[in-house]
Chains A and B, each alone.
Chain A
């Protein structure tokens, strides 16, 4: 079985982002970029499935500008066999990403597509579900455990009510939650090895996918600040203050 893994590049999760004062966007120039943390988890799961002999090949897929190649090399260094770089200079929204993935899925015929449950920049949480719908295949979102046997995946999902288990026939789309695994670190020799691994480059437009904006973003703003609080000296003073506000 072949596994396709979505591998998005985002502003590093440790960066405190700044909204531009004119409301046209957030500052991304000179800001550290990294793999979306959920995508690292998805890739790690794919590599573990290969190590168990369930998958033969792991392919990382990125959609973005020319310099995304360096990012995809990180995925190769982590252990992916090869990469596909779908090039576009436009910002890509989830529906466009899902349509692009569908084209790759039709060509590559994977047994499983692993994506992160959401990207930490747009926080959309849509791409995996949209791909599954367009592909007309099962989805298992927010996965914290994946077991594959006999052409199906048994997936434990983190839902509000607890842990739900579902069974899906393959091929399917699975999106990773935080507790699925702990991604491995990249080792120096693997960075060297990754340099000789293949990256297929394909233009988004050549897939017949239009990157046109589906949602127009007209304004960016910083969130409303909370007013400065007060420090209390002990438990009794805290309880008195909360009682005064009618909260206790």
Chain B
């Protein structure tokens, strides 16, 4: 008998697509129920959205003013309390899930499985270690609650629309700490598709040369309807903000098309894109490691090739 509680991630009143990806992983356990837990200051719209996701049995809501922002210290005791009736607690392995889930696991006194790539059985999972250079099979203790984060790049988002799961308000008697306070969010938001859910991503690296030059990456991305990413080198050099970083220490993505431009392909970057459908590399150094994993490689000066690409795209 397994029952899974999936923690919903949301921002600005919208459900993040990572929630539906975590639901996919939960469904793979073949449980008796998959319930989604929405913690927010205003739950109605979020709950309605979550109820539509295929595979969701029930949506549980906790509406409190303290839940306006995703503060782990505030959310974790509520999640731990709600987890009492469940065999598994799943959350997406985004910065949100990575922040809050280990806090929940520790409150429950159990280990956590980070970055679940595949579900082998209800207590056996595969996860990457050493920057994705080894994949381990781990077994969680069957007598404990399984607390796990789901590697979003490994799971498609469960489709939404056909389902209409019941929504229930959950009454949790939990005292919340006041020692942690939200101050603000400086978002690098743009009209471009979101990096983590985009089907196409164009990334630039150190080879782009400057913040100003990065405009040609943005222009190409816009022409393709793609999200923009960057290597750590480009972020460290100040060409783009850090929320665009792709790699072990940034975002791990799996778009259908990934174009790496002026990126040599350090191990930590490759970790972030290994699951992309098709990888294109454009680099002036024909020996760059990125060509070892690229499906299509083009050696040459990016400042010459990008205008040619735009022309060929029409």
Contact = CB atoms under 8 A, between A and B. Distances in A.
Contacts of B137: 217-221
B2 to A, nearest CB: 18
A120 B128 CA distance: 11
A180 B164 CA distance: 45
A149 interface: no
B180 A95 contact: no
A26 B130 contact: yes
A167 B179 CA distance: 8
Interface residues of B, number: 87
B73 A17 contact: no
A177 B129 contact: no
Nearest to B312: A239
Contacts of B181: 166-168
A242 B72 contact: no
Interface string A158-172: 111111111111001
B297 A139 contact: no
A141 interface: yes
A131 to B, nearest CB: 8
Contacts of B114: 123-126
Interface stretch (B45-53, B56-64, B95-103, B208-216): B95-103
B280 interface: yes
Contact of B309 (A124, A130, A131, A239): A239
Contacts of A220: 134-137
B138 interface: yes
B308 A123 contact: no
B140 interface: yes
A188 interface: no
B186 A226 contact: no
B274 A226 contact: yes
Contacts of A240: 312
B245 to A, nearest CB: 9
Contacts of B299: 231
Given A129-B72, A159-B95, A166-B181, A16 B133 contact: yes
Contact of A123 (B112, B129, B294, B296): B129
Interface of B is mostly: mixed
Interface stretch (B27-35, B81-89, B166-174, B249-257): B249-257
Contact of A16 (B102, B236, B267): B267
A195 interface: no
B166 to A, nearest CB: 30
Interface in A80-94: 93-94
A13 B131 CA distance: 9
A26 B134 contact: yes
A229 B11 contact: no
B67 interface: no
A105 interface: no
Contacts of A133: 76, 102-107
A126 B111 CA distance: 9
B264 interface: no
A181 interface: no
B298 A162 contact: no
A234 B298 contact: yes
B21 to A, nearest CB: 13
Contacts of B291: 229, 231
A172 B54 CA distance: 40
Interface in A207-244: 214-223, 226-227, 229-236, 238-242
B42 interface: no
B191 to A, nearest CB: 15
A235 B311 contact: yes
Contacts of B248: 120, 123
Given A121-B129, A129-B99, A133-B103, A162 B189 contact: yes
Given A161-B187, A166-B71, A234-B298, A217 B136 contact: yes
A175 B32 CA distance: 37
Given A133-B103, A160-B96, A214-B141, A235 B297 contact: no
A215 B313 CA distance: 50
A48 interface: no
Interface string A112-139: 0000000011111111111111101111
19 contacts: A95-B110, A123-B248, A129-B98, A129-B99, A129-B103, A142-B95, A142-B98, A158-B242, A164-B184, A214-B110, A218-B138, A221-B135, A221-B137, A222-B135, A232-B298, A235-B309, A238-B309, A240-B312, A247-B278
Interface of A: 11, 13, 16-17, 19, 26, 93-95, 98, 120-134, 136-139, 141-142, 144, 154, 157-169, 172, 177-179, 214-223, 226-227, 229-236, 238-242, 245, 247-248
Top-9 shortest CB links A-B: A214-B111, A235-B308, A129-B102, A133-B106, A162-B187, A130-B106, A126-B102, A165-B183, A239-B312
